[in-house]
Amino acid sequence: MSLFDLPLDELRSYRSASVEPEDFDQFWSKTLAEARTHDLDPRFERVQDTGLASVEVYDVTFAGYGGHPVKGWFILPAGTSEPLPVVVQFIGYGGGRGLPHTHLLWASAGFAHFVMDTRGQGSGWGGGDTPDPVGSGPAFPGFMTRGIEDPADYYYRRVFTDGVRAVEAARSHPLVDASRTAAIGISQGGGITVAVGGLVPDLVAIAPDVPFLCDFPRATTLTDSNPYREIGDYLNTYRTRVKQTYRTLAYFDGVHFAARGRAPALFSTALEDRTCPPSTVFAAFNAYGHQDRGIEVYDFNGHEGGGDQQQVAQLRWLPRYLTGAGR
């Protein structure tokens, strides 16, 4: 696969053409206020039969958007007795929380780890346990166009709200130091991370890898790859809804959440990534609101990004903020 996007020197100065809605902050303040009228009701049930000796695993349920139950895993180093910093993780497109043994990295590094399931997803890989009880108008198969007629009904309004509530649920556990909370995720999980970073003002760090859901005007016209292509296929049928569709998407564009980022951030991108093109990632990175920001660039990789190498980078970077050394 050859390079298809802007040259790296242009990527470093690229700015998105996405127009921020005037009521962006009001929309999200109202959304979160409505969600918080429901009791968070976080429940942590110890899982006894994991076969894992070095960690303790809890099956989590909390109230997300609309008070709907959202599942997750909470994983602690075995024998934890004092509050730990916590890493809250969000999952990639089509995937679910899977099984606990696939989430051992951050507990192995000595931190609490909270993994949020993604409502309605999990049948593509991993396996999920969280339904999305909200319907929508006509939509192209997938999640990108569900409820896209109106920002109030759009699927990612529910998912991003779930993400904020996941942070609140993680912080509610007595063995979590709520003042030291970070958010991470890959692809869709990276996009949720950027959104949560813009909506939760007191995270200590975020680490979005090859983030999805950024710079919709460019992404939807640059790449033919799914999931962005779902939007094009929808508009192929609903030809008169282009303006309306982009109006909705503007409320969920990672570029606008990034501008509100108040925590140090480590992004990553890959120059051969046709799923989340590097210009769309740089659009969010270049708009990011905190001075302490960095981006790892993988020259000859696609959407797999840095893979294990990026995890090494995170293991070197993130603990400085979780332990207070980098703040």
Enzyme catalytic residues: 187, 273, 303
Structure tokens of 73?
């895993």
**Integer angstrom CA distances of residue 60 from 31, 66, 240, 287:** 23, 18, 43, 34
Contact 70, 64 (CB under 8 A): yes
Contact 269, 305 (CB under 8 A): yes
The Cα 77–Cα 2 span in angstroms is 43
**Strand ranges across the sheet with 205-209:** 43-47, 55-63, 69-77, 112-116, 84-90, 176-186, 205-209, 265-270, 293-298
Contact 58, 86 (CB under 8 A): no
